[in-house]
Amino acid sequence: MWNYYFLLGWRSLRRNPILTTLMILILAVGIGTSMTSLTMLLVLSGDPIPQKSERLFVPKFHIADMRGYKAGDKPDFQFTYIDTKNLLRDKRAKRQTALFGLSLTVDSGRKDLPAFSERGMATTSDIFPMFDMPFRFGSSWSADADDKASNVVVIGPELSEKLFKNENPVGKTIKIIDRDYTISGVLDVWQPTPKFYRLYGSDATSRPEQIWLPFTNAVSREFSNSGWNNCSGEGAGSGYEGWLKSECTWIQYWAELDKASDAAAYRDYLSAYVAEQKKLGRMPRPEPFQLLSLREWLEDAGVVGRDTKLSTWMAFGFLMVCLVNLVALMLAKFTARAGDIGVRRALGASRKEIFRQYLIEAGVVGLVGAILGLGLSWYGVHIISSRLAEADDFYRMDFRMLLITLLMSISAALLAGLLPTWRACQVRPAIQLKSQ
């Protein structure tokens, strides 16, 4: 009987073509709008590195002095150079890295390719295994290069293709600003979604930087950071040296632990560290430091923006209006078929059978609406992605969202079909047959 009802539902789509088209359109538009905003929400709240997100942590210290202090203030979201140096030296996590953004110039030396600017990262060699960054050629620079502040560089795939086409450039040099850097490796295409590792000074939807060079090298060359530099207290002091010694925060710090349960031990270490720094007269605020997991870090930085949430609310409100409309339209369609129902009932169909038949018909509308809605959501997501995300196809629908669309559309149609179907069951055969 299920198959037959399904076929009936399918055939009934052609009955009242205007009404049916309207029903499907309304459902599809509602589903398309909701899925577009839901996709944004789900992509932004996704786990960028599921295999180790449990084990990646960001410490946050209260660097600012007591000026303007209010109880419950959040700690600073970036690190000072002093703390970065201390924590990197202590090496108390399995791996640790610090990073800050750079705005660099690359001089290819080629006549056909004038010098151009490129975004870079100053970081340590630990970052590559830490974030499971894939290499196309070569590998990271050595820990020794970290210590010696060598002129070595890992470049991204886009830069590699721009400069060297498809050949392996490992061992060659590129000129960054005014010095030659030896390429130790070329990254493969890698787009963490959201781009979690540098949420301040860069957007969560942006493409990864194309130049990665040793933190120590950037500092020895007195590169200033491209991004946020928050100086509280006495300010930056004079010169680069003064900046390094100051309480300005401009570095982002990451720690990878062996297992999530090591967090307690790491917390103990940090708390001892803070106590020690307090003795030196730093970190005067009474609030405790924080150790955020990757998930907490994303939440804390507000990766899922207020507008994304707002549009999701609005879109689902819109879907509700679509549903009410759908109820009215189905009611009109089913009411028009009271005659049919009367005949079926008179011939012995139970109310349950009628209920099943009409609910399946509603489900068929949901199915067709889902297909159209899927197209609309795909288009909507595409438009949003091209307008609001820097990385290509940053927002996209995956299999999970396909499934959600299908489920949402069919259940919406079934929900909307409940009242009309129930009303259809109430048709009394005798009255219908008499009035014919």
Least gap, CB of 135 to other proteins (angstroms): 29
Select 167 or 234, whichever has its Cβ closest to other proteins.
Answer: 234
Least gap, CB of 114 to other proteins (angstroms): 8
Select 134 or 242, whichever has its Cβ closest to other proteins.
Answer: 242
Least gap, CB of 387 to other proteins (angstroms): 5
Name 181's Cβ contacts closer than 8 Å, sequence gap at least 6.
151, 152, 153, 173, 174, 175, 213
Select 53 or 232, whichever has its Cβ closest to other proteins.
Answer: 232
Least gap, CB of 205 to other proteins (angstroms): 11
What is the C-alpha separation between 162 and 251, in angstroms, rounded? 29
Least gap, CB of 382 to other proteins (angstroms): 13
Phi then psi for residue 290, to 5 deg, are -125, 150
Residues near other proteins, by CB under 8 A: 22, 26, 29, 33, 66-69, 103, 105, 107, 115-117, 177-178, 222, 229, 231-236, 238-240, 242, 302, 305-307, 309-311, 313-315, 317-318, 320-322, 324-325, 327-329, 331-332, 384, 387-388, 419, 423
Least gap, CB of 139 to other proteins (angstroms): 30
Strands 211-214 and 116-123: parallel
CA 392 vs CA 42, 205, 223, 401: distances in Å: 17, 9, 29, 19
Select 105 or 271, whichever has its Cβ closest to other proteins.
Answer: 105
Select 134 or 286, whichever has its Cβ closest to other proteins.
Answer: 286
CA 387 vs CA 39, 126, 305, 381: distances in Å: 15, 34, 16, 10
Find out whether the peptide bond into 17 is cis, omega within 30 degrees of 0. Answer: no
What is the C-alpha separation between 400 and 336, in angstroms, rounded? 38
Select 134 or 235, whichever has its Cβ closest to other proteins.
Answer: 235
